[in-house]
Structure 1
Amino acid sequence: MCNNYTTEDKFIDDILAALLEELHGHKFINNRYAVVAFGAQVPPFDYPRSISNDYGVFVNTTDKLRHCFNHVTRFLHNDDYHKSNSDILQAISVASRLNFRPGVSKTFILFSCNRCDIKQMLFDFSSILQYMNEEGVRLHILTNTEFTFDKQRKMRNFFGFDKHFVYSHRFPEGESETRHILQISRSGLGICTPLALETGGSIFSRKKIMTERKNSFKRFATIFAKRVVQSAMPIGNQTCECTGHKTGVAYMLCTQGELTGQKLLLEENDLDLSGMDWQSEMDDME
């Protein structure tokens, strides 16, 4: 998550409550949660880091998860400090290397405050996308960005979208007809948009409901939670093997059977991006 979100924002409580209700309703039990924070204006809080609780990174209740959110350091913008690190792909890389249990589903929810500018990324888009698909990571994005669409008159009470459906107050289960004629603006989340869509995730914006009644927030949270849980089923036919980070810490790496031999190690300095043509990469993404 980026540091513009804190538990002072009741929106977080609505999201957590809705997620817990949907997980239990679909018989997902023994769930674990973790928080990776990044994007502050003051080092070392600008770089991605996991928030620990009781000497562990993962917690098993939403109450403990709220405690993790309370420890997210928030710094307001100040011109005296250096520019904030907004490398979202690096944050995803850090989250992907947490010590997950073998065979579980991996759902990442990005609380986004910035556009995904590929010029600020340590890793390239295609490598992160391949790695996430191999490990079955689903990326969902919550943002304050206001998306602009063609056929704007048909998008009243818009909440979010995925690769196939649009979600709104009127269509909580998703509506496909409108989705096919929508053209998403190049502005907004940059390369994070295709990253979420190509991993089977979704993008929801609370921009239009920020000034509305509390009930609107809860309905938004419920529809978002339903979409997250919809894609939370673990992938079958996984092959797991013991591997290790450069630090020597061992962990279990689980991939789909046919992808077992294709590993991407995303440790720092593994990828040499010095010769990359950033402008061409941006043109390809857009």
Structure 2
Amino acid sequence: MKFKVYSELSYEVFSPTTFIFNIQAAKSASQKVISETLIVTPFIKFEEFTLKNSDTRFVKMEVEQGVFFTVIYEAEVEVSYTVYDEKVLLKSIPIINLDHEVLPFISPSRHCESDKLLELATNEFGYLPNEYAKAKAINEWIFNTVEYKTGVTNSSTSACDTLLDRVGVCKDFAHLGIALCRALDIPARYFTGYAHNLNPPDFHACFEAYIGGQWLFFDPTKLAVANGLVKIANGKDASEVAVASYFGDVTCTFMKIDCNPVVSDFIPFNSELDTKAISYE
């Protein structure tokens, strides 16, 4: 399935500031970037870079005090996903046999304090028969327990904060899902991307759990169409793959995000009726 994604971010800069953006669609075996442009107006020199052993595409730039600028990213992206029958996901993989690349996603991280949630996770979900059933139950529990509300959390809010306050936005829902999965020894990671028909329009955060040898997609907000996403990046949590980081005195003055299928006959999965196990790997 092909999608067109668009992001437009405007900033007013009050002090010399370094910006790091992470808004470009990921390039992978399951996601092909057909075309893309990234324009900064007025022109500001920028540099694209990746980290060692990572496919995440960052852009960095230095902006002087007093500048008002806009970053626009547009791309056409072909996305492939796989739908798995639940029956093939029932077998658990012992930690000793996990791929080495998966192991970092089983440990606590800055925003996902899984070591503090062991008792809760065990009491609420430990009785379930397999890891897929546990991850699905975690997803449903967060949806039913945490209120989606904008403007009540910030970049320092953690999974434990969300559990205590029972309110947050998509990244907070994702962090809690990751932490609860890891507390049950299920590897889990943060997923950020563009989402079709998202309301309110924004970048979206979900999580993936490693079950039966596959990274499976979960969205505890149920705001996204499960087969309508374009991945930007994965990370241990949002601190690794924030869409915009800046080091200075800055105000974001405008943001517009779009993600639409190229074809008109796109059939979205119904998040309430379709319980498909989907992998974007």
Do Structure 1 and Structure 2 share a fold, with TM-score over 0.5? no
Higher strand share: 2
Higher helix share: 1
* TM-score range relative to shorter protein: under 0.3
User: Structure 1-normalised TM-score?
Assistant: 0.27
User: Structure 2-normalised TM-score?
Assistant: 0.27
Specify which structure has the bigger relative contact order, considering alpha-carbon pairs within 8 angstroms and separated by 6 or more residues. 2
